[in-house]
């Protein structure tokens, strides 16, 4: 059975244990999460001025919209403030910054009513993040920048937590994706032709769970959960932030969610930075995860 823990004051070791059992953790906005949202909001407003970033899709050809995203998204990902704010969020949530590593936050834009469905606005089909080469102990942190509704939220397909799915993750190589797939994104406007890691069998998506939080409200979940972008019918673009963490003890002990069906190659291990000093995962630990299909669990 999967549960949603709301605003629980639970220590991080126990929380990770529960996350690896498939539980979700949801928390109200805090000063630190609101600061990250404010940074994203300000950058979006500046990029789309004079339009409201949630409405801009109605005021410009999609090619112009993509050109703005192509500049805005990397600017946010690499913004030095993110590397200050995220450790603050982790500390707020009880993570040990000496042992918790995080990756660069992503800024996601999901336009409504099929305006942009490729490249930089690709609405992710149901997937597990573990089909994209992370260690099985990876935890995902997600927060909306503006108010959301059920119609532009993210959906979890909880009953696949313990059910394997036929998928194409064996064709996914993280290094190749970095060299090719990621670079193609800004060029894809009408159609997304990149080979994504995806289910290759029909999925039973209902019942699904959609979590609607205030801006800056956190949803924390195991990278092994099947989740998807809800088709946005709100006429407003949904803008959200997500980042991922791994904990050194889990890496060393090879703990994590059960691996039911991930067979990708290469690893995201080089992407994470330690909360305390932004150092990379030490080489001897990283090596355990290199060139091994979906280690852990
Ligand atoms: Fe995902």
pLDDT (0 to 100) of residue 190: 64
pLDDT (0 to 100) of residue 296: 46
* C-alpha triplet 256, 35, 96: angle, nearest 5°: 35
Task: State the distance from the centre of ligand 1 to the C-alpha of 154, rounded, in angstroms.
Answer: 9
Q: Is residue 154 in a domain?
A: yes
Q: Is residue 206 in a domain?
A: yes
Q: Is residue 226 in a domain?
A: yes
Instruction: Answer whether residue 66 shows pLDDT above 70.
Output: yes
User: Cβ(149)–Cβ(234) under 8 Å?
Assistant: yes
Task: State the distance from the centre of ligand 1 to the C-alpha of 227, rounded, in angstroms.
Answer: 6
Q: Is residue 166 in a domain?
A: yes
Q: Is residue 296 in a domain?
A: no
> What pTM was estimated for this model as a whole?
0.93
Q: Is residue 294 in a domain?
A: no
Q: Is residue 243 in a domain?
A: yes
pLDDT (0 to 100) of residue 194: 65
* CATH assignment at residue 223: 2.60.120
Q: What is the pLDDT of residues 97-150, one digit of tens each?
A: 999 999 999 999 999 988 988 777 676 789 999 999 999 999 999 999 999 999
Q: Is residue 223 in a domain?
A: yes
The neighbouring-strand residues paired with 154 are 229
Instruction: Answer whether residue 171 shows pLDDT above 70.
Output: yes
Average per-residue pLDDT in the chain? 92
Task: State the distance from the centre of ligand 1 to the C-alpha of 125, rounded, in angstroms.
Answer: 9
Q: How many domains does the chain have?
A: 1
Residue 114 belongs to what domain range?
4-289
Binning pLDDT at 50, 70 and 90, where does residue 2 land? confident
Binning pLDDT at 50, 70 and 90, where does residue 176 land? confident
Task: State the distance from the centre of ligand 1 to the C-alpha of 278, rounded, in angstroms.
Answer: 24
Task: State the distance from the centre of ligand 1 to the C-alpha of 48, rounded, in angstroms.
Answer: 25
Contacts of 294 (CB under 8 A, 6+ apart): 130, 133, 136, 169, 259, 262, 263, 264
The neighbouring-strand residues paired with 141 are 220, 243
């Amino acid at each position: 059975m999967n549960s949603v823990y709301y605003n629980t004051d639970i220590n991080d070791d126990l929380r990770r244990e529960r996350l690896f059992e498939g539980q979700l953790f949801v928390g109200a906005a805090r000063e630190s999460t609101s600061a990250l949202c404010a940074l994203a909001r300000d950058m979006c407003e500046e990029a789309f001025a004079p339009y409201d970033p949630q409405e801009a899709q109605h005021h410009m050809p999609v090619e112009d919209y993509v050109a703005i995203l192509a500049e805005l998204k990397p600017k946010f990902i690499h913004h030095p403030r993110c590397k200050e704010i995220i450790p603050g969020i982790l500390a707020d949530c009880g993570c040990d910054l000496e042992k918790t590593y995080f990756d660069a936050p992503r800024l996601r834009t999901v336009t409504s009513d099929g305006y942009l469905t490729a490249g930089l606005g690709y609405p992710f089909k149901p997937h597990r993040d573990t089909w994209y080469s992370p260690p099985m102990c990876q935890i995902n942190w997600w927060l909306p920048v503006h108010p959301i509704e059920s119609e532009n939220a993210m959906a979890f397909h909880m009953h696949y937590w313990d059910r394997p799915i036929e998928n194409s993750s064996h064709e996914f190589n993280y290094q190749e994706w970095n060299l090719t797939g990621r670079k193609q994104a800004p060029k894809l406007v009408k159609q997304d032709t990149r080979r994504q890691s995806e289910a290759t069998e029909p999925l039973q998506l209902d019942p699904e769970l959609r979590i609607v939080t205030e801006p800056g409200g956190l949803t924390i979940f195991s990278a092994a959960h099947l989740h998807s972008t809800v088709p946005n019918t709100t006429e407003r673009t949904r803008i959200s932030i997500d980042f991922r963490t791994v904990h050194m003890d889990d890496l060393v002990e090879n703990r994590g969610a059960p691996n039911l069906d991930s067979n990708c190659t290469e690893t995201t291990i080089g992407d994470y930075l330690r909360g305390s000093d932004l150092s990379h995962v030490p080489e001897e630990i990283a090596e355990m995860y290199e060139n091994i299909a979906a280690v852990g669990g």
